[in-house]
A and B are shown apart, each in its own frame.
Chain A
């Protein structure tokens, strides 16, 4: 078994080396079959329908909707405390940070 001391540069190099290997595999694929592109092949798949440009990009609702559904009971208690005052908000951030630091200190004794 090969043993090397870990180094961030070594790990980054390893990722890039793997990417280079993957690129070579991709190029071999291109050599085997040269792409013969036609407008039909380049169209985005949409079950045969014509796509509008706005439909081809992400909708943030897809991301937030499940999170809102899960945390609805939590929001009920949190929303009244959300005054919109920046200093209060920052105070909560500091309190949260202190709690995390205490947990880490207790964990890594």
Chain B
């Protein structure tokens, strides 16, 4: 009984739905504000994403007549479910996440792909040419970045000798951050994360100036709100995973006799990673899908595989 209550508390409050939603939406709000300042605009307030989400919930929910309604509706629901579940597997406050396993890294990689697959299914099922083109581009992009993402995560796992994210954090607590030991893998995973989160220069599947909004074109009202919420949580989860794997994860400190919980350092590092990706997205221009694929399968793959080979040897 206590286990179920603990699970529900973790799921709905911390580090699940409430915590991840608030932080994810806040990070996107800050991202938009920083972007605006970099473009010499005032920009929206940082809580704009909360207002947008609330407003979308109050809008009409329309499913196009030509769309496959069941898949079109199911995609945002599953995407949100998977995004929340990833949060339970991430160590937010200490080396032990809410759900632990002997090989949780594999589960995290698998779960992080579900929102992407849901976006593709949503695009294909919308019966919209922009949605179909966007979903096609997303599939190609997934093939491009996912190999790098897996290789870099595997590099960290091989270095520590464990597929458990808790063991990787414990290793970093006794040694130094893996970012210092595996700089090439760190650089590769940051670039792969940029593509995973559809951020410039890899916003190819939803390129507004070419294909309206790609797979999201036909989404409106509450379903679009859910998609955006799932994306916000995914942003937080991907940045959190990089923090845990390469930047030491959550570390508790004592400053002037005051105990600072690990979650504070985790949030600072995660926020720094999000800000870094925001900077990349503001100084780069969108690539074509074949350019993105070539970039990943040549330069970034080489960097990631060289680092893996160095670690194996």
Point out residues on A near B: beta carbons under 8 Å: 1-6, 10-11, 14-23, 25-26, 28-30, 32-33, 35-37, 39, 41-47, 51, 53, 55-59, 62-63, 65-67, 69-70, 106-107
Is A70's CB under 8 angstroms from B80's CB? no
Determine the residue in chain A with the shortest Cβ distance to B290.
A66
Given contacts A35-B60, A70-B293, is CB(A107)–CB(B81) below 8 Å? Answer: no
B interface majority secondary structure: helix
Q: Which of B1-40 contact A (CB under 8 A)?
A: 3, 6-7, 9-11, 17
* B60 pairs with A33, CB closer than 8 A: yes
How many pairs, one residue from A and one from B, have CB atoms within 8 Å of each other in the complex? Answer: 175
5 closest cross-chain pairs (CB), A and B: A6-B101, A18-B81, A29-B222, A66-B290, A19-B81
Which residue on chain A has the smallest CB distance to residue B10? Answer: A2
Q: What are the residues of chain A within 8 A of B96 when measuring CB–CB?
A: 1, 3
Would you give the shortest CB distance from A105 to chain B, in whole angstroms?
A: 11
B136 touches A44 (CB 8 A): no
Besides the known contacts A22-B80, A32-B57, A62-B133, 6 further A-B residue pairs in the complex with CB atoms under 8 A apart: A1-B98, A6-B104, A14-B11, A16-B81, A18-B80, A36-B60
B248 at the binding interface (Cβ < 8 Å): no
Q: CA separation between A11 and B7, bound complex, in Å?
A: 11
A32 & B58 in contact (Cβ 8 Å cutoff)? yes
For the complex, would chain A's binding face be called helix, strand, loop or mixed by DSSP majority?
helix
Q: When each residue 98-141 of chain B gets 1 if its CB lies under 8 Å from chain A and 0 otherwise, what string results?
A: 11111010010001001000000000101111101101110110
- Cross-chain pairs A/B with CB under 8 angstroms, 20 sampled: A2-B9, A2-B10, A4-B6, A15-B114, A17-B81, A19-B74, A20-B81, A22-B77, A26-B61, A26-B222, A28-B222, A29-B225, A30-B61, A44-B64, A47-B212, A51-B129, A62-B136, A62-B137, A67-B143, A107-B154
